[in-house]
Chain A
Amino acid sequence: MAERSFRREQPNRPATAPKRPQARGSGNHVIEFRGVSKVYEGGDVGLDQATFAIERGEFVFLVGHTGSGKSTIMRLLIKEADASAGSVRVAGRDLSEIPRKRVPYYRRNIGVVWQDFKLLPNRTVYDNVAYALQVTGRSRREIRQKVPDILRLTGLATKLHNYPDQLSGGEQQRVSIARAFVNHPPLLLCDEPTGNLDPETSIGIMQLLYRINRTGTTVLVATHDHAMVDKMRRRVIELAEGRVVRDEAAGLYTRDETTREFAARMRGAVADPALDPAARGTRHVRERGRTGSN
């Protein structure tokens, strides 16, 4: 079963270096889009001949303004929609081969974080995270062990019994990340995770995603927060009108750094872009984004 082999690939190593994106061995792609198009009912083009691949352990940004196809890629990856043409492969398996009945089992291997959090309003923080485990049929004992752990990791240890509407936006997003990651999926998808948050909170969220990435999880973040992308200095795939217009590897700055170094750089990078030779490439993105959105 592809699901199971997918799970086995999940690296359980501690904070070692994430894999560099140089290896192009086709067997190693976590995500592979090959000539993927998506035309919605009514003729809107969501994606037009998109081709790219993402290696295991990578941290990749998907940028582009509204309507450029970021959300379409996310929806294809969780099989909420099917590609009109081309093939989408996740962990080597073509998604079009997964029958409808198996989709829930496929989704359990992917953590997803949304801009609007999508928490269950009638459940406490604890129960929201526990639900992702209950779905997979884990025992109560296991749930009682894992949930507090992951909530501690995401900094919510004191909010266990609050309901989502009693939390700030940043806290809610942390809950949704905890829920996405509690199964330790090998792939984490984030659709505008900081779209509703202020810059300082956003840095906290990014720091959390980076920490998750360092456990070996592949992270794909769709965003139009260019300042964030510039500071993160990870691989960037840019989309415009459904096409991949730029795929820039991380290059120099994927130097392995600790979460703390990372956070310090994130907070300080705005102050001294000149000191940072790597910022040059990504500034290009910022300019494009500005002209596009205005």
Chain B
Amino acid sequence: MRLGFFLREAMRSLRRNAMPSFAAMATVLVTMLVLGVFIPIVQATTGAANEVRSRLLLDVYMKTDASAADVSRVRARLANETPHVKKVEFVSKKEAYAQERKRNPEAYQLLGTNPLPDTFRVTPDKASNINQLKSSLDPGGRPVDPAIDTVRNRRDETNKILSATRVVKLTTAMLAALLITASILLISNTIRLSLYARRREVEVMKLVGATDWFIRWPFVIEGVVVGALGGLLAILLLAVGKIALIDPLAADFALIAAPDTVNFGVLIAVLMGLAVTLSAAGSGISLRRFLRV
């Protein structure tokens, strides 16, 4: 019975305060729209940065005269005893020769013999661990196994990629934080304005003997309704944008190797949850100031 009463009260005040409610809903709509566009962008950027990082490899060249026993010993060492190793890929002399010859047939025609060594391509577990991995394999330039000739990465490029992608990630994280703060401030401000217009009403309710929560529930429910409406509209617009713009584009151009972004369903759920909780909590908390009568 109580719940019914609070629902009716919330609907009544939505009807009677159509303009402020609309303003609050529009605010929620706009911020959710911006967030909905921005979240996939952040994810695509960090995804791209991670993708670049994941291409960082360490080449472990064996000596040209390494035997099969040497190869399997080094492989075991790399796979089992070395920290920070994610994946070890073995490229044998022959495979390397075939690859290179395909790339540059004339030169290899002239060469006749196979000068290429057996090679391990080692992927570190995390891109930022690559330098640590390298120094654990050849501390001070001397390889840990006599059968290893050299351990190499292209140091300059590696370091550039590491720092550049770090900056990209940090920037997007900061932008996301700023945007979320701005949304919270914007929503809470709009709510506070619409409550301020009704502070006298709240005062009268208190003087008549209403408890704080008796007054607050209808406002919270109102916030839920406003938030849900705003979130719903934002999601509709996002869906329209996705279907009309992004999807054809992705199909035609295979958009930048289609970076991994959040599933649209999950995005919808997050936005909806955010819209409802923000505006409900905003109404409930902003009301506190006016309840001190």
Contacts and interface: CB of A to CB of B under 8 A. Distances in A.
Interface stretch (B64-72, B209-217, B223-231): B209-217
Interface string B191-218: 0000000001101111111111010000
Interface in A129-165: 131-132, 134-137, 139-140
Interface residues of A, number: 23
B293 interface: yes
Contacts of A135: 205, 208-211, 214
Contacts of A120: 201, 204-205
Nearest to B12: A122
Contact of A118 (B5, B207, B212): B207
Contact of A121 (B2, B12, B201, B205): B201
B13 interface: yes
Nearest to B17: A122
Interface stretch (A26-34, A103-111, A253-261): A103-111
A179 B207 CA distance: 12
Nearest to A131: B208
Binding site secondary structure of chain B: helix
B209 A179 contact: no
A105 B214 CA distance: 12
Interface residues of B, number: 21
Contacts of A105: 209, 211
B211 to A, nearest CB: 4
Interface in B45-96: none
A121 B208 CA distance: 15
Contact of B201 (A107, A112, A122, A136): A122
A104 B1 contact: no
Nearest to A133: B208
B288 interface: no
Contacts of B204: 118-120
Contacts of A179: 208
Interface string B207-251: 111111010000000000000000000000000000000000000
Interface in A68-117: 78, 80, 101, 104-108, 112
B16 A136 contact: no
A192 to B, nearest CB: 15
Contacts of B211: 101, 104-105, 135
Contacts of B212: 104
Nearest to B292: A100
B216 to A, nearest CB: 12
B200 to A, nearest CB: 8
A125 to B, nearest CB: 15
Contacts of A106: 209
Nearest to B210: A135
Nearest to B13: A122
Contacts of B205: 120, 131, 135
Contacts of B207: 78, 80, 107, 112, 118
A80 B12 CA distance: 28
Interface string B168-212: 000000000000000000000000000000001101111111111
B289 to A, nearest CB: 15
Contacts of B203: 118
A104 B201 contact: no
A78 B12 CA distance: 29
Interface string A201-222: 0000000000000000000000
A283 B203 CA distance: 38
A132 B207 CA distance: 10
A108 B209 contact: yes
A188 to B, nearest CB: 14
A132 B156 CA distance: 77
Contacts of A122: 12-13, 16-17, 201
A112 B212 CA distance: 19
Contacts of B5: 134
A80 B293 contact: yes
7 contacts: A104-B210, A105-B211, A118-B204, A120-B205, A131-B210, A132-B209, A137-B2
Interface of B: 1-2, 5, 12-13, 16-17, 200-201, 203-212, 214, 293
Per CB-CB distance, the 7 closest pairs between chain A and chain B, nearest first, are A108-B209, A107-B209, A122-B16, A135-B210, A104-B211, A118-B204, A104-B209
Interface of A: 78, 80, 101, 104-108, 112, 118-122, 131-132, 134-137, 139-140, 179
Given A104-B214, A118-B207, A121-B201, 5 more contacts: A107-B208, A108-B209, A112-B207, A134-B5, A140-B1
